[in-house]
A and B are shown apart, each in its own frame.
Chain A
Amino acid sequence: MRYDSITEAIGNTPLVRIDPAVHGLRNIDLYAKLEMLNPFGSVKDRAAWSMARPLLDEAVEHGSQVVELSSGNTAKALAVIAGMHGLGFRSVTNRMRVPEIKDLLLLLGAEIEELPGQSECLDPTATDDPLTLFHRTLSASGSAYLHTDQYFNPRNTEAHLTGTGPEIVKDLDGRVPDWFVACVGTAGSSTGVARALREEDPSVRVLGLVGAKSDFIPGIRTIDEVQEVGLFDPETYDTMESVSADEAIEGMLTLNRRCGILGGPTGGAAYFGAVRHLRAVDEELSERRTAVFIVCDRVESYLSYVRQRRPDLLGRPPRKNSPADLSDAEIGAAPSIGVAGARHWIDTDRPLVVDLRSPFAYAALHIDGSVNIVDELFAELLRGGLPFSRRQPVLLACPVGEQSARYAALLTRMGHPDVRSLAGGIIAWRDAGAPLVRD
């Protein structure tokens, strides 16, 4: 495979059979269309390229900025394509809730604008939602923008009508699968593929998956939100079903861990929804059938999404010398000293004063002569053993004396003979009128 441009590597993604031992369907061969293997990482590479390509020459001539309402994958592909052509890219969205994706877009040179949250005190007479205002700005400003308009642009659908759909048929040796399963975001991929398959064989069943209403699955819409999509036509789907965020993650885990397919939550939702739907049908079958679902993108960008919903999946074994495994009794027994005592102790024995707060708070105001080791860093230090000599007395300080008590207990347990926690913390110190400096 040799190409002159990375955009030539868009499409022709693999169709991979899922091991029946994993999905448990007896009569149905289930295939995953790995759109995550497109060069910019997702199924949206096709749509982005299809929508932008015919307009690029003119945009370059006018130095236009590429603009799209996108929370992730389309923005990613468009940012790359714009950058390759020396154009800027701006994404406006109210759906970008995954921090890694934001950072990645910034890295790719995108400018991101987030729409504000809903008003608490509604003005029921207000007719302008921020999106309407955005569209108005675009149309008022002449041609300085290349607006790809993915939710309404027929070239989004077309990329899949001429690409994704026919590729599936070709890889199934000219046969159309009996079921096609896809998550609905812009509806471009599901609509395009469904149309391509139906043209070959109208008996194909199309299952559209949406997110459960109260849940958030990045990249797909809920049953109400799809109604706002110009490309969405309920006739496209024989069935619409919804998938919860938990189910999407469950499906994703199966793909990741048991199939070696490192797909993200929408791929997981498609797999989960496909198996759930097909299981009932499978019982009734006597001959072999085929189903295809789409894995839209990769898992790597969704780690914080997973951490938020399933922290257990990212759990690590407990660490040595961790303040977390102290008992309440140990913490209660930690040596401490009040403000007056501490001031005297500092004057007489010159203990090392360690301030556990963040550097910003420390910089603002601190005890004269203290050193700042923020608690997270201090915890890391202690994993390796005592960080100071046993002969050096230590006074630990934090805001209210709670964390310092923990660490005083831990250091005592680790064998330090003279460590104390400042009772009541820096707040008690301030309230007692003891001096704080910024230097």
Chain B
Amino acid sequence: MDGRPLYLEPRLEPRLRSLVAAHGTLHSIVDALGSPLHLVVPDQIAENLERFRSVYRAHHLSGQVFYAHKANRSSALLRRLAATDAGVDVASLGELQHALGAGFGADRITATGPKNPEFLWLAARTGVTVGVDGVAELDRLAGLVRKHGLAPVRVLLRLSGFEAPGVKVLSRRSRFGTPVREVEPLLEAVERHGDAVEPTGVAFHLDTTSVAEKATALEGCLAALELCRSRGLRPRAVDIGGGFGISYLAEREQWEAYTSGLTAAVLGRRPPLTWGGHGYGLRSESGTLRGTLGLYPAHRPVTGAAYLDELLAQPAGSLGGRPLAALLLEHLYDLHTEPGRALLDQCGVTLARVLEVRGPEPGGELLVRLAAKADDIALEDHGVLMDPVVVPRSGAGPGQGPVAVHLFGSLCLETDLITRRTVFLPRRPEPGDLLAFANTAGYAMDFHATRAQYQPGARKVAAWQDGDAWRWCLDDQFWPITPSGGVQ
């Protein structure tokens, strides 16, 4: 095999493509606010919501799309959603306060995840629906309601450990939810706390890309709801969590060529593709490939709303083989979803300025140092491999053609690599140029960011289109009524 560049070009839909092409605007924002810098695009999240809604409509399903707040701290994105009919899924006291402050009423909020007493109290006090992980949490919640004289709280019972008939699907151990095998004691607790909680349905969130596993879980939820009804409860909803995914790359062929190249490199059949021969989980044992590729499948044929559609079309084997969507509808259940990453698809870009470009040895890779830390651009932490787009400082010439580079951050640490992979760029970047990392809004902006070494964290800006021009303001200044932005 040869050393031809293995590009991983980002998938850019029109809005993000236009933003990345607005070179003058991008440079002037970074000049004003420093590098690194996160840009979020609130109008896109509303468009993504609409795609989920159209899947609901196609199946005649009612229910709520809850944005999983954990994926991004942005106020602009949250406030833009507050101006739609979406809900929000909050996983901490701070997120709940943020959601209430952004304009979400309690009926549009669900609280999930591990909960401290303050979080649980504010949720109960304001009347948001609480996703309950088990009997202990239910006991604590009911205790709070009684002690503080609150109105009964709506709860969704989070279940886990679903099993398909016939074939056992081994699942990754989860810390959350009540195993379906133990649902009876959970329902007994619900009945015991009948004065304090009102069960509105069941929920699950599975950390898997597999449609089949989720279909099994949804089928298991239908069975659990039937059990609720047989005990005289009146549940109405199934919440199937998030995990609908993003396709990050523009071209499948590039992803396939890259992963084949990485396999060959690990087996020593081509020069290394990574700093220090890192294998992203793969290794060679006497010429045979071992281990598992620890990378997000960066090109996926079915993600987001289309993934939901595919899931809903799965037949439920134990319920006569009808599609899950038909069964939900026939049973008159609401469908709740909690997409995080998928609602943030194409909603953000991270910019970093090139500080230094250095060639260690002739013919070797260039070392490119950025004014950013690896944790500011956390794509790698989520296993997402994707090339940055070079945004040149001036209209200067296009360089001398393709180069291989290693991207380093600004920390005084050998490990502060933006990505461990050798990145191929169509031309040599120069100091002062910006590198634009696309599609970073889902988990890659502030999930991992630290303030180590007194290095500033990236600031965040909301951007929107006004005719042909891009306008922007600080993330925290954005409201859906911001002049010519957001809701028209």
Which residues of A approach B to under 8 Å, CB–CB? 92, 96, 102-103, 106, 111-122, 124, 126-127, 129-132, 213-214, 223-224, 227-230, 232-233, 357-362, 364-365, 374, 398-400, 402, 426-427, 430, 438
Contact = CB atoms under 8 A, between A and B. Distances in A.
Contacts of A119: 172, 207-209
Contact of A116 (B172, B291, B381): B172
Nearest to B285: A230
B319 A360 contact: yes
Nearest to A122: B383
Contacts of B207: 119-121
B326 interface: yes
Given A113-B168, A119-B172, A214-B252, A360 B327 contact: yes
Contacts of A227: 263, 267, 288-289
Interface stretch (B99-107, B118-126, B191-199, B329-337): B329-337
B229 A399 contact: no
B136 interface: no
21 contacts: A92-B170, A106-B167, A112-B167, A114-B167, A114-B169, A119-B172, A120-B209, A120-B242, A121-B443, A213-B256, A214-B252, A224-B259, A230-B288, A358-B320, A358-B330, A359-B320, A360-B226, A360-B331, A361-B332, A398-B330, A399-B60
Interface stretch (B46-54, B81-89, B293-301): B293-301
A358 B288 contact: no
A364 B226 contact: yes
Contacts of A224: 259-260, 263, 289
Nearest to A99: B317
Contact of A358 (B259, B292, B297, B327): B327
Contacts of B18: none
A121 B229 contact: no
A117 B210 contact: yes
A426 B332 contact: yes
Contacts of B294: 122, 124, 126
A113 B301 CA distance: 26
A364 B231 CA distance: 12
A102 B172 CA distance: 21
Given A131-B292, A438-B229, A358 B322 contact: yes
B288 A129 contact: no
Contacts of A118: 208-210, 297
B171 interface: yes
Given A114-B169, A114-B170, A438-B229, A399 B329 contact: yes
A364 B172 contact: no
Contacts, number: 136
Contacts of B226: 360, 364
A223 B261 CA distance: 11
Contact of A122 (B62, B295, B322, B327): B295
A120 B243 contact: yes
B166 interface: yes
Nearest to B164: A114
Contacts of B287: 233
Given A214-B256, A224-B260, A120 B341 contact: yes
B326 to A, nearest CB: 7
Contacts of B60: 399-400, 402
A402 B329 CA distance: 12
> Which of A116, A127, A213, A359 has the most C-beta atoms of chain B within 10 angstroms of its own C-beta?
A116
Given A119-B208, A121-B382, A427 B332 contact: yes
Contacts of A223: 260
B126 to A, nearest CB: 27
Contact of A106 (B166, B242, B382): B166
B212 interface: yes
Nearest to B257: A213
B292 A364 contact: no
A130 B319 contact: no
B17 interface: no
Contacts of B166: 102-103, 106, 112
Nearest to B236: A430
Contacts of B259: 213, 224
A400 B62 CA distance: 11
Interface residues of B, number: 54
B9 interface: no
**6 A-B pairs with least C-beta separation:** A117-B210, A361-B330, A129-B292, A357-B330, A227-B289, A122-B383
A357 B329 CA distance: 9
B392 interface: no
B375 interface: no
Contacts of B341: 120
Contact of B209 (A113, A114, A117): A117
B223 to A, nearest CB: 9
A360 B328 CA distance: 11
B486 interface: no
A134 to B, nearest CB: 9
A371 to B, nearest CB: 15
Given A116-B210, A358-B320, A228 B168 contact: no
B316 to A, nearest CB: 9
A50 to B, nearest CB: 21
Nearest to B245: A120
A400 to B, nearest CB: 5
Given A118-B297, A129-B292, A102 B327 contact: no
Nearest to B329: A399
A112 B245 CA distance: 28
B302 to A, nearest CB: 12
> Which of A120, A121, A361 has the most C-beta atoms of chain B within 10 angstroms of its own C-beta?
A120
B181 interface: no
A7 B290 CA distance: 34
A380 to B, nearest CB: 14
B433 interface: no
B213 interface: yes
Given A214-B301, A360-B330, 10 more contacts: A102-B167, A116-B172, A119-B208, A122-B382, A214-B256, A227-B263, A227-B288, A361-B330, A361-B332, A399-B326
A364 B235 CA distance: 12
Contact of B208 (A102, A116, A214): A116
B329 A400 contact: yes
Nearest to B168: A113
Contacts of A126: 294
A232 B165 CA distance: 35
Nearest to B269: A234
A113 B243 CA distance: 23
Given A122-B382, A400-B60, A130 B291 contact: no
A364 B229 contact: yes
Interface in B175-210: 207-210
A100 B342 CA distance: 33
Contacts of A213: 256, 259-260
Contacts of A228: 288-290
Contact of A361 (B170, B331, B380): B331
A122 B296 contact: yes
A3 B238 CA distance: 58
A127 B322 CA distance: 39
Nearest to B380: A124
B168 A111 contact: yes
A358 B167 contact: no
A224 B168 CA distance: 27
Contacts of B292: 129, 131
Contacts of B242: 120
A120 B244 CA distance: 8
Nearest to A355: B330
A130 B327 contact: no
A200 to B, nearest CB: 27
Contacts of A229: 288
B319 A358 contact: yes
> Which of A114, A115, A127, A400 has the most C-beta atoms of chain B within 10 angstroms of its own C-beta?
A114
A124 B381 contact: yes
Given A116-B169, A119-B172, A364-B229, A399 B330 contact: yes
Interface in B249-297: 252, 256, 259-260, 263, 267, 281, 287-292, 294-297
